[in-house]
């Protein structure tokens, strides 16, 4: 049987929120929405995006906002 599960996902994190998704655009949109309060401007200066070499449903530890996973890639620092 073929395993069609994507073997990586994206993890976006700011000082207030985090999101994960196998789709980069979806994780960025969700993070931006989470970081924008209902009343107006952004509460954070942006977010950092990592590519995690595990399926989206994998469990792993987070230390100081960063996944503790071998082979993780920091792919972007986004400023709002």
Beta bridge partners of 6: none
In a domain, 30, yes or no: yes
In a domain, 50, yes or no: yes
Q: pLDDT tens, 23-70?
A: 999 999 999 988 887 776 667 889 999 999 999 999 999 999 999 999
Q: Between vectors from CA 47 to CA 42 and to CA 50, what angle results, nearest 5°?
A: 160
In a domain, 24, yes or no: yes
In a domain, 3, yes or no: no
> What is the predicted pLDDT for the residue at 73?
98
| Domain, as residue range, for 41 | 9-79
> What is the predicted pLDDT for the residue at 42?
66
In a domain, 68, yes or no: yes
Contact (Cβ atoms closer than 8 angstroms) between residue 66 and residue 72: yes
> What is the predicted pLDDT for the residue at 65?
93
In a domain, 2, yes or no: no
Q: How far apart are CA 2 and CA 4, in angstroms?
A: 6
Region label for 29, one of left (φ > 0), alpha (ψ between -120 and 50) or beta (otherwise): alpha
Residue 18 has pLDDT above 60, yes or no: yes
> What is the predicted pLDDT for the residue at 14?
94
Q: How far apart are CA 59 and CA 53, in angstroms?
A: 12
Number of domains composing the chain: 1
């Amino acid at each position: 049987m073929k395993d069609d599960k994507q073997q990586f996902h994206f993890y976006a994190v700011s000082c207030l929120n985090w999101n994960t998704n196998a789709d980069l655009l979806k994780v960025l949109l969700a993070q931006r929405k989470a970081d924008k309060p209902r009343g107006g401007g952004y509460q954070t200066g942006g977010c950092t995006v990592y590519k995690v070499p595990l399926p989206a449903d994998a469990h792993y530890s987070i230390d100081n906002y960063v996944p503790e996973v071998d082979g993780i890639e920091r792919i972007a620092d986004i400023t709002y």
